[in-house]
Amino acid sequence: MTTVNGEALDPELLREAFQRIKSAEEARTEASCCERDPEFYRQAEEELIEGVLLSQEAERRIPEPSKDDVRTAMEATLREWREHGASWDLLEQRRNEIRSDLTARLRMDRFTESVWDNLPELTEADHRAWFEAHAEDFRTTARAHVLHLVRFPGPRPDEDHRQLRQLREAVLDGASFTDIAREHTAKEDGQIDLGWIDYERPLNPFEAMLFSLREKEVSPVFFYEQALHLVWIQQLEPERIPPFEELAEEVAPLALKAQRRQALADIARELRKTATIVRNDEPNA
């Protein structure tokens, strides 16, 4: 187990950090990332090392909280645990552990507040600079209002495909997609309006087809989920990055959070220079 100035990283916290980092990346890529487990483990380990360094620095800089402060925090915590169903027996068994955790948390809170109190107040120029550096994070996805004609292939799928091609040709020649879809859709309720669809899954064949089209354009005939389809883009809203002026209120707290996070990271980086960090082989995460 990795140690920081003789203090071992908590294996449970390490496991939780690893799972959080891995799950976030798998959600982002929509793919399993098992081959990247060593990378995620290292990220989790670095995150915990920074936390331990800051916690140790808080102990050096900040006096131990008063008994009254700890008692007040303890009462609030016990009340919260009870509201979530914890028994008095369990709370009594863990009382010392809870008290120790609360003392460390109060110390860390006061430490971070002391760091943040000395930070310069961010200006609009700072907010704008942060926004420009993170503009891609605010890019909206494209969305389309879609009309739809579906046909479920029968014994002669080639004939079904031919008929849909003919309907598509009629639309290309100027016929109303709405009228054709209402007359020829295989949906029992006759519904042809799919409403607004966001472009969230680039590798999904249906969305890939939709967002390859222009507004007021009919798709080629395509097969998806056991059916033949024609779609029509009634209205298209392309992806965009809103200007700073539209997002100023949203950006301000994010820029402040980034400033505070960076201040703590800078302290941790300096602490690393003199810290004794002993790493062991990574466990099976």
Residue 195 lies in a domain: yes
Same domain, 274 and 185: no
- CB neighbour class for 253 (10 Å; exposed up to 12, middle 13-18, buried from 19): exposed
Where in the sequence is the domain holding 9, given as residue range(s)? Answer: 3-119+256-278
User: Burial of 49 by CB count in 10 Å (0-12 exposed, 13-18 middle, 19+ buried)?
Assistant: buried
Q: What is the pLDDT of residue 285?
A: 43
- Within this chain, do residues 80 and 145 fall inside the same structural domain, yes or no? no
* Residues 131-140: tens digit of each pLDDT: 999 999 999 9
Q: Does residue 101 fall inside a structural domain?
A: yes
Average of pLDDT values for 232-245?
96
Residues 57 and 107 in one domain: yes
Give the DSSP H or E segment for 219: none
Could you tell me if residue 124 is inside a domain? no
Amino acid found at 270: E
Q: Is residue 283 part of a domain?
A: no
DSSP 34-46: GGGHHHHHHHHHH
Q: What is the pLDDT of residue 24?
A: 86
* Global model pTM greater than 0.85: no
* Residues 110 and 147 placed together within one structural domain of the fold: no
- Residues 66-117 have pLDDT tens digits of 999 999 998 898 888 888 887 888 778 888 888 888 999 999 999 999 999 9
H-helix segments, 173-213: 177-184, 205-210
Per DSSP, 33 falls in state -
Q: Tell me if 192 is assigned to some domain.
A: yes
pLDDT reading at 31 higher than 90: no
Looking at the 3D structure of the chain, how many domains does it have? Answer: 2
